[in-house]
Amino acid sequence: MRPRSGSAAAGVLLAAAAGLYVVAAWQSKPGFYDGFAPPADTYRWVKAPDGVTSNGLKPLPGSAALLVSTDHSRVAAGAVATGDTPPQARLEIPAGAFNAPAADTVGVDLTPMAAPSRPDNAVIVGNLYCVTATTALAKGQELQLTLRYSDQLPSADAIFRYEDETLGWSQLPAVHDGRTATVSAPITILGCYAPASLVAVAPASSSRAGNRLLAPIAVGLLVLVLLAALPFYLRVRRERRLRQRV
């Protein structure tokens, strides 16, 4: 009965160590897996940030042509989405949102770009998407912009507009949808927008430091448990050999 008892104890210790190792690995993403190939991101990046494994697919732009009334007084409603599946950017356009031109249609484009920087209080978790049109947005009108974000970065809870003149960022009130991994916000200005995750810089740094410590601690404990289990294994193996000889 002793061999069984020792073997059971060793098994319990090994299971506990394995569980701790898995928890440490889960909480220590992405650095814990250095040397291994993590799964590719499903998001299409213009330029994938550090720590994210690109899937090698380039993001697609989107365009739409909105009809103008025959008397050139009003632009029809419509939508434009990028060609990715699912779309990484989508713009809902109400009727009359644009100033009616002399032309028969209004062209609207969504163009993916790499974010040139990041806000002080947030992490950019997707491409920068620039909204352009062949005519100006009418005064007081809003467009509804929805942006998808990367599944290898924190969830987006904000949309930021990049300011070309100041080279800075402005935050927009946004709504997060975890089911579709998107964030949406009304926009009143044509320009460039990116999904972002709000962070507090100091706590985030502390968390990363804690995760870096957790990984080697878990590995060390696993090694100690394996060493502690080794005598049980050797004893069980020796006693089995003795019984076989008898």
Pick the range with the lowest mean pLDDT from 24-28, 29-33, 76-80, 218-222. 29-33
Once rounded to an integer, what is the mean pLDDT over residues 203-225?
59
109 and 193 both lie in a single domain = yes
Question: What are the phi and psi torsion angles at 92 (to 5°)?
Answer: -95, 130
Q: What is the pTM of this model?
A: 0.68
70 and 192 both lie in a single domain = yes
Where is pLDDT greater, at 233 or 200? 233
Per-chain mean pLDDT for the chain: 83
Mind listing the pLDDT tens digit for each residue in 103-134? 999 999 999 999 999 999 999 999 999 999 99
69 and 152 both lie in a single domain = yes
In angstroms, rounded to a whole number, what is the distance separating the alpha carbons of residues 20 and 16? 6
- Tell me, yes or no, whether 89 lies in a domain: yes
Read off the CATH number of the domain in which 138 is found: 2.60.220.30
- Tell me, yes or no, whether 222 lies in a domain: yes
- Tell me, yes or no, whether 85 lies in a domain: yes
Taking the CA atoms of residue 230, residue 1, residue 237 and residue 224 in that order, the dihedral angle to the nearest 10 degrees is -10
73 and 188 both lie in a single domain = yes
Query: Are the C-beta atoms of 182 and 148 separated by less than 8 Å?
Result: yes
- Tell me, yes or no, whether 54 lies in a domain: no
- Tell me, yes or no, whether 46 lies in a domain: no
- Tell me, yes or no, whether 75 lies in a domain: yes
- Report the SS3 class of residue 86: coil
- Tell me, yes or no, whether 238 lies in a domain: yes
Query: Which range among 29-38, 89-98, 197-206 has the greatest average pLDDT?
Result: 89-98
- In the chain, the number of structural domains is 2
The residue range of the domain holding 108 is 62-199
